[in-house]
Structure 1
Amino acid sequence: MSSVYNFNAGPAALPKPALEAAQKELLNFNHTGMSVMELSHRSSDYDAVHQQAKQLLKKLLAIPDSHDILFVQGGASLQFAMLPYNLLSSDKVGQYVLTGSWSEKALKEGSLLGQTNVLASSKETNYTSIPDLSNAVFSDKDAYVHITSNNTIYGTQWNTFPDISQAPLVADMSSDILSRNLDVNKFGIIYAGAQKNLGPSGVTVVIAKKEIIESANTKHVPTMLRYSTFSENDSLYNTPPTFGIYLLGKVLEWVESIGGMDKLEQANEEKAKVIYETIDQSNGFYNGHAEPSSRSTMNITFTLPNEELSKRFLSLAKERGFVGLNGHRSIGGCRASIYNAVPLEACIALRDLMIEFQKAN
């Protein structure tokens, strides 16, 4: 099959222009006679790649000078531990807002390293919505408030972020970073695995306030688990994932070429609207998991009237060249992950398939 409609939840679709640019340079990067994968991470040729990726991130996300950009390995799952290692001292409490499986895992890791508390949760309704923090109780003992900005399994998303002054707001943005405009000033730390919107798996972007990094008491923290190790060494303390950072830069170039964040946010909203309208106009044949006020523009989760119909729909979708539409085992049904690189045409094709299948059944 020459091409497919890629709705994988991650690793996910990458922009074709970014892949083509990488393909063109794969064997001979910048007239070096070597692939970028073969360059020394201390070389001037790689340093240019490294710095450009940082500068494009800073430009596209309007990252202020108060924050540093780090390239870390280990995925968001390592950040579940790295965060409390750096911020959760013995006299502080890590506050967690539970909105799905990934926030539960973040809480579990934090609980291994210090005192934690569930500030708010929507678990009792099977994570169909984002909880209201208007009645949340904060204290001067709070080390941070951790949220997961988008929930891939349940298809929910923080449409607006809370204003928290009592402690740093920390967000796992692995599945919706770079998908919309963002006020980075609201956050003490943002972290995101690259494999949804930023690039290939293997790179984790951390955007952290410099004052948080500098004030962290990490005397007894292993070197590679300190944010300061990456900040002080420009993410070059050891060999970084050079090809992943290179391809991340290519993705950022693509975002800039299509008009930046305003255009990208508009495109993502349009894609999501195509599929959500199909669900809403199906008279219950397709049932969205997330409440409308908490719907994600990145992961659209829905079920059919019964499991037999779900299996038949997914089988037909596979025959037609749709990939990655199976819902997560915890909620079943279907999931369309429509990250930045998924084109509108793919969403229209899915809409047409959904309408066709409903009419036939």
Structure 2
Amino acid sequence: MVLNNLRIALTDQQVSIRVNEGKIAQILPAHFHDKNDQHELNFDNAIVFPGLINSHDHLDFNLFPSLGDRTYNNYTEWGRHIHKNYKDKINEVLKVPEALREQWGVYKNLLCGVTTVVNHGKKIKNPPDIITVYQDCQSIHSVQFEKKWRLALNRPFRKQIPVVIHSGEGTDEASFKEISTLAKWNLFKRPLIAVHGVAMNETQAKDFKALVWCPESNYFLLDRTAPVNRLKKYITVLFGTDSTLTGNWDLWDHVSLARKTKFLTDKELYDTLTVNAANTWQLNSGEIAEGRDADLVIAKSKHGLEGADAFFSINPEDILLVMHKGNISLFDEELYPQLKELNLIGYSKVFIDGTYKYVRGNLSLLMQNIKRHYPKAEFPVL
């Protein structure tokens, strides 16, 4: 298949991309035509970028509304507060079987152009293959919420496996000290990937392989976020959304907020979602290059916008196609005439902000099944 006449995000380089056997086979000139290609998709005024990598989500927590009504000092204070004051709302959501909640979390990411999501929590059995659910790491929730975190961290036979842990999620002294305590107890010097790191300083950053920045979640809970403008000199910065407990379902909303902070340049922010994450998680994706996995997203370019402005103005309704390892997981209805010759069995049609999308799998049935357990469930698609 050739994806024809595209502009690469940020650089505006005009290209066509040949995909074969799940990989990017060739980067070709724009308006490329080859009568030997089995299928060609033609685009007009569209940008292409690597499938986004969401480096932190709790997939089973994305049916929750945002819970909390004040600024907290740290995540433990918030946790105690919501379990006391929102007990009924929490229990309503937890009536939905975990597998259904996880599946919705996967689709939430797909609708935003995510092709890999790092799930924080216990491993999911048989996740949908519409995107990659990355689980080749050890998840420890946090120093405060996991009593046996020291034992979990110091497993000598797992010392090459990265550990992902909430750390420094607060603005008080306890949150700052928690980071140093964690680093001190990393006896086997395992690769540590901190999530949030709001209280982290430059010296502490050197003890970690990477930091997952979740600005919308941080501002919702703490009215402050990690000082990645200072930490980026000492640590690789990745991007995460966390769940809808503390933020919007739409990843692009999170990215827009991150850009407004000006803590990172546009290129640095783009890299947190692409090449930085791919390198950290050792994925064969994250950039548009021959031999990489064909994890690609194509979106409409809003009229008059170029470069970074075109990329950062994207919303889910603008996404025309999401390709995961060479397979189309989502496409806009305007591409249907070009795709109808392919086997489209197994796709379902949904409506989002004025546009129709086709997604692989029966998303409509999934939402119906969820509503049987939780009638108040609200979805961004119909």
Could you tell me the TM-score, scaled by structure 1's length?
A: 0.28
For CA contacts below 8 A with separation 6 or more, give which structure has more relative contact order. Answer: 1
Could you tell me the TM-score, scaled by structure 2's length?
A: 0.27
Normalized per residue, the structure richer in helix is 1
Normalized per residue, the structure richer in strand is 2
